[in-house]
Chains A and B, each alone.
Chain A
């Protein structure tokens, strides 16, 4: 498809519960990125993939966050034992190889931890 798809649109979890977010990148795009937008306008990079391989995970809080991009499956971002501060909008973006800074973003998943 021509758009990055993210599901679910909204997700509510009690503190300590698991949350799993999904992203279907644009077909043919080699790179997938996850970003977290906590407050209005403040983004944080989490992790990127080149196909199914982790490309850059410098932003991942590894103790509770994990992510995968497996062949023929949507990419996923999982948060174990969610905390209140994980409440944010999580954006997935994809880009074809070599396009660098021109990334295509999905509509985001709003996670609310109560």
Chain B
């Protein structure tokens, strides 16, 4: 499974766009990229998944360059409730064991 590297923490203010970048230099051809969010005392929650280019859903966008060695989770106009840990994961689609890294602690301030 490809190892991921992401910033330990990030700070932002309400209403700003937040971009969290994840590095996965040894991603394999069949690997997919997925992001999870975890609030304190809760289980992780799936945010978004992609293979290449751009994926958008109602809460976030995922940008994946052509070489797929990195990906960026974009959260538009964050609010205080977006304060959480965000995990970037890489795994074979259909092979379901998730390998979590240390995640990025996002702190959103008023």
Contacts and interface: CB of A to CB of B under 8 A. Distances in A.
Interface of A: 4, 31, 33, 35, 41-43, 45, 48, 56, 58, 91, 93, 95, 98-108
A101 B100 CA distance: 12
B97 A56 contact: yes
B81 interface: no
B93 interface: yes
Which size class do B's interface residues fall under? Answer: 20 to 34
Interface of B: 32, 34, 41-46, 49, 85, 89, 91-100, 102-103, 105
B101 to A, nearest CB: 8
Contacts of A41: 85, 100, 102-103, 105
Given A101-B32, A102-B34, A48 B43 contact: no
A105 B44 contact: yes
Contacts of A102: 34, 46, 49
A105 to B, nearest CB: 3
B85 A101 contact: no
B93 A45 contact: no
A101 B96 contact: yes
Contact of B43 (A31, A56, A98, A106): A106
A95 B96 CA distance: 9
Contacts of B89: 101
Contacts of B98: 33, 35, 43, 45, 93, 101, 103
Nearest to A98: B94
Nearest to A101: B34
8 nearest A-B pairs in the assembled complex, by CB-CB distance: A105-B43, A43-B100, A101-B34, A100-B93, A102-B46, A41-B103, A41-B102, A100-B94
Given A45-B99, A101-B49, A4 B94 contact: no
7 contacts: A4-B43, A33-B96, A35-B98, A56-B97, A101-B34, A105-B43, A105-B44
Contacts of A106: 43
